[in-house]
């Protein structure tokens, strides 16, 4: 029996490796799968035959253009679009975004809805997201497959099991149980994730050659968040999503943060903090939750015109971010960093002070020359991270080797 268990485990891993090749490359021939996985031709042939019988994968149109070369054209295999659907839901301070994607990665439907999270009652969150998702599902063609996974990306702290949004700067309500509410509505597995973690997932999917096993994704927006990847795994807390980079202390007893503490990195680098400093409101002035894009654009325009208060606001943000990164680099060594969000628009004013703070590290780690890239729009990255994570979870399910004589394996929640 132990030998059978090990054999099934190997079979599942090999099935998953083949699905991973098709996920990354859209399609591949059997020969190409052998080359990318290192599996033998007989193993690939046996597993792909199984997956074809199970309608997890398909043969591509034989009339499609084939690669040039001698001999018989090789049949290319691809993921079956009709095998499953996944849903991505992004919850932010001012909007709810829903997208539905088929198993092959084709976007079938999208819905975007203005939503004032700050004014919403606890029940409004799930009710609005569920109704928006039902509308998106109704937009999908009738020929689509069954819904298999839902992934929520939320601006806030989640529990480590992905059941609840424990706390968020976008609402005063806590411990919102999104997982149970969505699973009751749709009867499929659901997970709630921190938005910065999903950004980190998306960056790896988009640019694996750069964002590989060790890197950080830092959100510069209303607040400051981080998704941290080390040794190929997302870092989380023991009980929560963790990595609350924005709430590390920059200056003890310093500027007032919207979390209620003083001196956090976010209290110097969040939108409300930059605006507060630019208008000389005072570091202990209550953090505003209604700073608009228009107001932040005005701060940026003032900096372009040489306004010293605006420039100093960005310098303070750079020092706070740089000091926080320096502390992190002291723990893990310098790693690539992606700054994401609307705040990157002013990165030219933030970066000099940031790198100066990194350069003050006494350790000879080259921190000042850390590899930094900017991405101005976080929402597509959150959505993409949710989608690819959900699709890979479905791949894991599909990889379960099920002998034809056995009953269907339940996709348990």
Residue 250 CA, distance from chain mean position: 26
**Which phi and psi angles does 216 have, rounded to 5°?**
-130, 140
Q: Which residue has the higher pLDDT, 70 or 139?
A: 139
> Average pLDDT of the chain?
91
Lowest mean pLDDT among 65-74, 79-88, 224-233, 319-328: 65-74
Distance from C-alpha of 252 to C-alpha of 58, rounded to nearest angstrom: 60
Distance from C-alpha of 387 to C-alpha of 263, rounded to nearest angstrom: 36
pTM over 0.85: yes
Q: Please, which pLDDT band fits residue 347 given cuts at 50, 70 and 90?
A: very high
Tokens representing 132?
């928006």
Instruction: Report whether pLDDT(218) > 70.
Output: yes
Q: Sign of the C-alpha dihedral, residues 39, 41, 43, 49?
A: positive
- Secondary structure of 206-271 in HEC code, one letter for each residue: HCCCCCCCCEEEEEECCCEEEEEEECCEECCCCCECCCCHHHCECCCCCCECCCCCECECHHHHCH
Contact 52, 22 (CB under 8 A): no
Kindly give the interhelix angle for 122-138 and 178-186, rounded to the nearest 10 degrees.
Answer: 40
Instruction: Report whether pLDDT(7) > 90.
Output: no
Provide mean pLDDT across the span 334-354.
Answer: 97
Distance from C-alpha of 346 to C-alpha of 171, rounded to nearest angstrom: 27
Q: Please, which pLDDT band fits residue 216 given cuts at 50, 70 and 90?
A: very high
Domain with CATH 3.30.420.40 in the chain: 83-199+380-395, 211-370
Q: Please, which pLDDT band fits residue 4 given cuts at 50, 70 and 90?
A: very low
Interacting residues of 412 by C-beta distance below 8 A, sequence separation 6+: 189
Of 412, 333, 402, residue with least CA distance to 370: 333
- Give the H or E element holding residue 315: helix 308-332
- Domain 211-370 in CATH 2.40.30.260? The answer is no
Interacting residues of 11 by C-beta distance below 8 A, sequence separation 6+: 47, 401
Instruction: Report whether pLDDT(126) > 90.
Output: yes
Instruction: Report whether pLDDT(1) > 50.
Output: no
Helix (H, G, I), strand (E, B) or coil at 357: helix
Instruction: Report whether pLDDT(403) > 90.
Output: no
Q: Please, which pLDDT band fits residue 364 given cuts at 50, 70 and 90?
A: low
Instruction: Report whether pLDDT(185) > 70.
Output: yes
Distance from C-alpha of 227 to C-alpha of 234, rounded to nearest angstrom: 7
pLDDT of residue 360: 87
Cα 72 to Cα 66, 172, 326, distances in angstroms: 10, 64, 58
Residues paired with residue 96 on neighbouring β-strands, in sequence order: 91, 113
pLDDT of residue 72: 56
pLDDT of residue 405: 42
Just give the CATH number of 2-62. 1.10.10
Contact 179, 130 (CB under 8 A): no
Distance from C-alpha of 245 to C-alpha of 199, rounded to nearest angstrom: 15
Domain with CATH 1.10.10 in the chain: 2-62
The DSSP string of 118-182 is GG--HHHHHHHHHHHHHHHHHTS-TT---EEEEEEEESSEEBTTS--EEE-TT-S---B-HHHHH
- The CA R_g of the chain, rounded to the nearest whole Å, is 24
**Which phi and psi angles does 159 have, rounded to 5°?**
-75, 160
pLDDT of residue 400: 87
Q: Please, which pLDDT band fits residue 406 given cuts at 50, 70 and 90?
A: very low
CATH assignment of 83-199+380-395, given 3.30.300.30, 3.90.76.10, 3.30.110.30, 3.30.420.40? Answer: 3.30.420.40
Reported residue count of the chain is 413
The string of pLDDT tens digits covering residues 220-258 is 988 899 999 999 999 999 999 988 999 999 999 999 999
pLDDT of residue 73: 63
Distance from C-alpha of 25 to C-alpha of 86, rounded to nearest angstrom: 19
Q: What percent of the chain clears pLDDT 90, i.e. is strictly above it?
A: 83
Cβ burial 114-136 (10 Å sphere, 16+ → b, else e): ebebeebeeeebbebbbebbeeb
């Amino acid at each position: 029996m132990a030998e059978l268990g090990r054999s099934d485990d190997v079979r599942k891993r090999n099935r998953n490796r083949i699905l991973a090749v098709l996920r990354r490359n859209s399609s591949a021939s059997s020969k190409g799968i052998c080359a990318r996985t290192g599996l033998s031709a007989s193993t690939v042939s046996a597993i792909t035959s199984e997956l074809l019988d199970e309608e997890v994968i398909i043969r591509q149109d034989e009339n499609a253009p084939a690669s040039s070369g001698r001999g018989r054209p090789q049949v290319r295999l691809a993921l079956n679009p009709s095998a499953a659907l996944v849903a991505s839901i992004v919850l932010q301070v001012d909007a709810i975004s829903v997208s539905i994607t088929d198993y092959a990665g084709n976007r079938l439907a999208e819905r975007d809805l203005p939503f004032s999270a700050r004014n919403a009652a606890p029940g409004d969150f799930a009710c609005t997201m569920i109704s928006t998702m039902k509308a998106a599902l109704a937009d999908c063609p009738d020929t689509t497959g069954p819904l298999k996974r839902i992934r929520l990306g939320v601006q806030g702290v989640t529990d480590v099991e992905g059941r609840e949004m424990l706390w968020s700067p976008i609402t005063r309500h806590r411990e919102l149980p999104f997982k149970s509410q969505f699973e009751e509505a749709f009867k499929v597995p659901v997970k709630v994730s921190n938005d910065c973690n999903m950004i980190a997932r998306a960056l790896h999917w988009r640019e694996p050659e750069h964002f590989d096993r060790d890197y950080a994704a830092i959100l510069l927006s209303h607040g400051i968040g981080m998704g941290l990847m080390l040794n190929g795994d997302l870092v989380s807390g023991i009980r929560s999503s963790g990595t609350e980079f924005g709430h590390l202390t920059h200056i003890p007893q310093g500027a007032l943060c919207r979390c209620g503490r003083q001196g956090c990195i976010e209290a110097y680098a969040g939108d409300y903090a930059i605006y507060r400093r630019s208008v000389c409101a005072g570091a202990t002035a209550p953090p505003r939750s209604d700073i608009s894009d228009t107001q932040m654009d005005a701060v940026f325009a003032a900096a372009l015109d040489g306004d010293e208060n605006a420039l100093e606001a960005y310098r303070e943000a750079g020092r706070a971010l740089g000091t926080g990164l320096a502390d992190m680099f002291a723990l893990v060594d310098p790693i690539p960093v992606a700054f994401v969000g609307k705040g990157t628009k002013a990165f030219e004013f933030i970066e000099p002070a940031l790198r100066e703070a990194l350069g003050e590290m006494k350790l000879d780690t080259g921190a000042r020359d850390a590899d930094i890239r900017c991405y101005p729009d976080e929402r597509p990255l959150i959505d993409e991270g949710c989608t690819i994570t959900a699709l890979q979870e479905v791949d894991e399910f599909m990889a379960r080797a099920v002998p034809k004589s056995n009953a269907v394996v339940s996709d348990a929640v």
